[in-house]
Structure 1
Amino acid sequence: MATRLRPANKKCTVIGGCGFLGQYMVERLLDKGYTVNVFDIRQGFQDERVQFFIGDLCSKKDLLPALQGVNVVFHCASPDPFSDNKELFYRVNYTGTRTVIESCKEAGVQKFVLTSSASVIFEGKDIKNGSEDFPYAKHPMDYYTESKILQEKEVLSTNDPENNFLTVAIRPHGIFGPRDPRLVYVLVETAKSGKMKCMIGNGKNLVDFTYVENVVHGHILAAEHLHKDSPLCGKAYHITNDEPIPFWTFLSRILIGLNYEEPKYHIPYWLAYYLALFVSLLVFIISPFIKINPTFTPMKVALAGTYHYYSCEKAKKDMGYKPVVSLDQALERTIQSHSHLRKNS
């Protein structure tokens, strides 16, 4: 198996390093003795140990200064997955990533670790213990997934050991944890508005939720095991907590932990899905006149009502991955970190 990076090669750049995942990545890399550059569209935090580069990842001129003397690039920048901006997804996730790859090659970067997504093989049908051998979704359910498929294909196809440019893609699923700007806040706001009384389906569908520190651990392991003779070259790897849990049980544990009521009633999955399709059709019909970004979409219904959990066996075998934080610990930390949102009894 690969040896760890020598100290002389422990200079890296985190693209999207001011985001939720990116900031955790930066902190862990610093803990492990890396010299860290951060490239992002804006500076989201202060750290005197980090050199920040602000710019547009679609601009080679902006990127190149952040890549000088760098051995490893972690690319975890992406628009909000729940946005409906097709043009933005393609510009950032596809054409932007092509520019990042070209810039890395020009700067002499040797290793490229992409934050992909397990959704690249999901098209609204049950996935149980899905492996990396599953084909890409032929009918992706949203623009985010479409663009991530194109992005991952581009990154993996540019793996080129002969020219010392090695690539790997990490596919996390359901990232959560303290400082998450979305999940818990949306849950609490939905509960406050009285819209969290019903669950979609029978509530038994198992799903992967992955603690952010485990996702970071998977990325760094991938970088440290990526070398010319490594099985990681040009491959994708699922990284999860390896503890699938019923979707509605996970949400309920957060709600109960913050003194809100869990969902008690059931809406049949088929009914919710067709209602979401109907809403999507209406939005499409009126879109020339009124712009609406619906919160009730077929993709969200599918995520809430189907099985979608993934095997980490390949990551265990090829890079010695195992979660560093259990799901129980992760939930406890996440709930405690959002104690300011707790409902007064």
Structure 2
Amino acid sequence: MATRIRPSSKRCAVIGGSGFLGRHLVERLVEKGYSVAVFDIAQRYEVPGVTFHQGDLCDKQALVKVLKDVSLVFHCASPSPACDDRNLFWKVNVEGTRTVIQACQEARVQKLVLTSSASVVFEGTDIKNGKEDLPYAKRPIDYYTETKIQQEKVVLEACSKEKDFLTVAIRPHGIFGPRDPQLVPILVDTARKGKMKFIIGDGTNLVDFTYVENVVHGHILAAEHLKPDSPLCGKAYHITNDEPIRFWDFMSQVLVGLGYDAPRYHLPYALVYGIAMLLWLITSLLRPLVNIKPTFTPMRVALAGTHHYYSCSRAKQDMGYQPVVRLKEAIARTVASYPHLRR
């Protein structure tokens, strides 16, 4: 029986490589000398030497073709957290991830690094310096979180040294940076509509915002440290900037940097959260008749008005993680990358 020649550890695939995080990850992997294949539902850019494959991650055979000579897979495909389609979240984050695992095992991929989320332990109440041993949210407050919990469980449970298939999950929080299609554009759009005048709560709540280059750095460190004898096998790791900041101070720095006024007026957290819950209930009841998307969702209000920051001590200890770009510099780079959104 012919023995299979192992592919080089520098041959990798990025599933979801056309997205915001995926593209930054692809570019950094190329810089570090990796041979990269991208699998995504659409191709949105070109990088010399990178091969692109368009397809549905629920199509196992299409995935197997791409992964057959790959030793390492990064899985960062997911619908946007702002999406309100539970079926789509379930299809991509849960069913799609099961298919990814099956394809990896069939193609005899050795390592799978999942982009999870720190929100898998968040229920809308304060988390201060949260560690990875916090229980999964029993009452996840949006479909994104609900399905990311299931996704992370499936990936970590698939880790098997006997089968030569190792997995690890990276839990970033509050990703931002150049080319982000969510945080800064939505923030500016809200400011232009005159809706960024109010601070929810007393404004003292601390939150992690994580620069995209640091998230990429965490992913690559995890991949390079993931070995049969390493503590990473089957575990989750928080990756943040390790610099908790007041949520509204961060928003104000971005807004002021782009020429907009910082929010000034305070609204009671309980009142706004109550209104958001009521609107969510009404829109849920009306959904069979009309599709309304409220601006204030319970999740958005909770993220804006509670403490939620996480410890990176496990990542520091097990893979030597340290942020490569500090928060002040990260905010400056991000603001400078959006000249078209200036006031």
Query: TM range, normalised to the smaller chain?
Result: over 0.9
What residue identity is the alignment partner of 2:281? L
Match of 2:22 in 1: 22
1:285 to partner: Cα distance: 2.3
1:306 corresponds to: 306
Give me the whole-angstrom Cα distance separating, in 2, the residues matched to 1:72 and 1:294: 40
1:189-338 correspondence to structure 2 within 5 Å: 189-338=189-338
Letter in 2 for 1:128: K
In the alignment, structure 1 segments of 5+ residues that lack a partner are 1-5
How far apart, in 1, do the equivalents of 2:321 and 2:271 lie?
A: 40
Deviation at 1:38, TM superposition (A): 0.3
- Which SS does the other structure have where 1:242 is aligned? coil
Change (3 A) 1:196 1:155: same
Deviations 1:137-178, CA, capped at 9 Å, x for gaps: 000001110000000000000000111100000000000000
Counterpart in the other structure of 2:339: 339
The question of whether the paired residues in 1 share the 8 Å contact of 2:8 and 2:70 is answered with: no
Q: How many Å apart are 1:48 and its aligned residue?
A: 2.7
Match of 2:158 in 1: 158
Q: Which residue of 1 aligns with 2:186?
A: 186
In the alignment, is the contact (CA less than 8 A) between 1:141 and 1:298 conserved in 2? yes
- Per-residue CA distance 1:200-238 (angstroms, 9 max, x = gap): 000100000000000000000000000001100000000
- Correspondence 1:56 to 2:56: yes
Matches of 1:188 and 1:292, distance apart in 2: 22
2 CA distance for matches of 1:122 and 1:67?
34
Whether the 8 Å contact between 2:206 and 2:244 is mirrored in structure 1 is: yes
Cα distance in 2 for partners of 1:27, 1:286 equals 44
Which letter maps to 1:263?
P
Q: 1:180 and 1:286 mapped to 2: Cα distance?
A: 32
Structure 1 CA distance for aligned equivalents of residues 299 and 244 of structure 2: 20
Q: Deviations over 1:297-335 (max 9, x none)?
A: 111100000000000000000000000000001000000
Q: What are the equivalent positions in structure 2 for 1:11-50 lying under 5 Å apart?
A: 11-50=11-50
Q: Are 1:54 and 1:62, in contact at CA under 8 Å, matched by a contact in 2? A: no
| Cα-Cα RMSD | 1.0
After TM superposition, where is structure 1 displaced by more than 6 Å over at least 4 residues in a row? none
Contact 2:7 2:70 in 1 (8 A): no
Return 5+ residue gaps in structure 2 as ranges: 1-5
1:172-209 per-position Cα deviation (integer Å, ceiling 9, x unaligned): 00000001012111111111111100010001000000
Overall identity of the aligned pairs, in %: 64
Question: Which amino acid in the other structure matches residue 152 of structure 1?
Answer: E
SS at structure 2 position matched to 1:224: helix
Contact 1:169 1:235 in 2 (8 A): yes
Asked whether the equivalents of residues 118 and 173 of structure 1 are also in contact (C-alpha less than 8 Å), the reply is yes
Distance 2:245 2:137 in 1: 23
Match of 2:128 in 1: 128
Aligned equivalents of 1:232 and 1:114: distance in 2?
12
Q: CA deviation at 1:7?
A: 9.7
Secondary structure in 1 matching 2:162 = helix
Residues 14 and 22, structure 1, Cα contact 8 Å, conserved in 2 = yes
SS at match of 1:161: coil
Question: In the TM superposition, what are the counterparts of 1:28-177 in structure 2 within 5 Å?
Answer: 28-177=28-177
The 3-state SS of whatever aligns with 1:13 is: strand
Which secondary structure does the structure 2 equivalent of 1:141 belong to? coil
AA matched with 1:10 = K
User: Structure 2 CA distance, aligned partners of 1:148 and 1:222?
Assistant: 19
